[in-house]
Amino acid sequence: MARSPKSDIDTDTETPAAASKAPSYARALRELQIELVKYQKHLIAHDERLLVILEGRDAAGKDGSIKHVVEHLSPRETRVVALGKPSDRESTAWYFQRYVPHLPAAQEFVLFNRSWYNRAGVEPVMGFCDAAQYEEFLDTVPVFEQMLVRSGIRLFKYYLDIDRDEQRRRLQARRTDPLKQWKLSPIDAAAQQHWKDYSRARNIMFARTHTLHAPWHVVRAGDKKQARLNLIRHLLSHLDYHGKLVEKVRPDPQVVFAYSEEALRSGMIAA
């Protein structure tokens, strides 16, 4: 199956054709952001706890998606967690320990920009963990996530997917855009070189950690704007709140869909 259309470059510079579609995108985004505000009012009133994990390859669009989700939400009840390299002490602790303090309490909406799934992707590919640590993670993360869900946390896991050519184009755009160069890292530099290694690690992660209580959903992110809109739609479509406009939150199943082996075989997920 054909991949989704290419997005604008990392600077969000638009072609004339893209610019002609901008008003409809802006309008759709505003409508969805209003729905997010409605949900947050419900979340606060009912002491709910929401956790959204965004994973994906370097330059897949995680930062931009999160920015547009939280843009109009209350900063008191909304947190974005993007942890850096673990300290020496954290490196000797239980692997999940550094993430637990950031989990949502009542009335909180927390988004993880990368998460404990570093141990299923970056760490094994780049040699930051050993085989025993990697296997231990894959064995225990379903149990850990089941504990979170049983405690009452609403957990959503999204993987933003782009193909190799699109990643190359976006990484190159970062190198030439002075406003994006803070995103560059040695890990980014190795992304293309280790493309196949990351693909294998991703496929193992899906197979071992896609569960009934915490399923993976794939977002085809070749078109950044459609990825953002449909990620928000998908999330809202699974949440209950007063005044929900159901027709506004129906995601495109060609953009967001539950992981399956068939999606891998068919090319819905980039090889």
Reduced to 3 DSSP states, what percent helix, strand and coil does the chain have, rounded to the nearest 5?
Answer: 50, 15, 35
Domain range annotation of the chain: 16-266
Residue 102 binned pLDDT confidence (cut-offs 50, 70, 90): very high
Which tens digit of pLDDT belongs to each residue from 213-266? 999 999 999 999 999 999 999 999 999 999 999 999 999 999 999 999 999 999
Task: Kindly state which CATH superfamily the domain 16-266 is placed in.
Answer: P-loop containing nucleotide triphosphate hydrolases (3.40.50.300)
CB atoms within 10 A of CB 247: 6
Which tens digit of pLDDT belongs to each residue from 181-190? 777 777 877 8
| pLDDT of 166 higher than 80 | yes
Quote the CA–CA distance of 35 and 43 in Å, as a whole number.
12
How much is the mean pLDDT over the chain? 92
Report the side by side order of strands in the sheet with 49-56. Answer: 78-81, 108-113, 49-56, 153-161, 216-220, 256-258
Quote the CA–CA distance of 67 and 35 in Å, as a whole number.
16
| pLDDT of 140 higher than 90 | yes
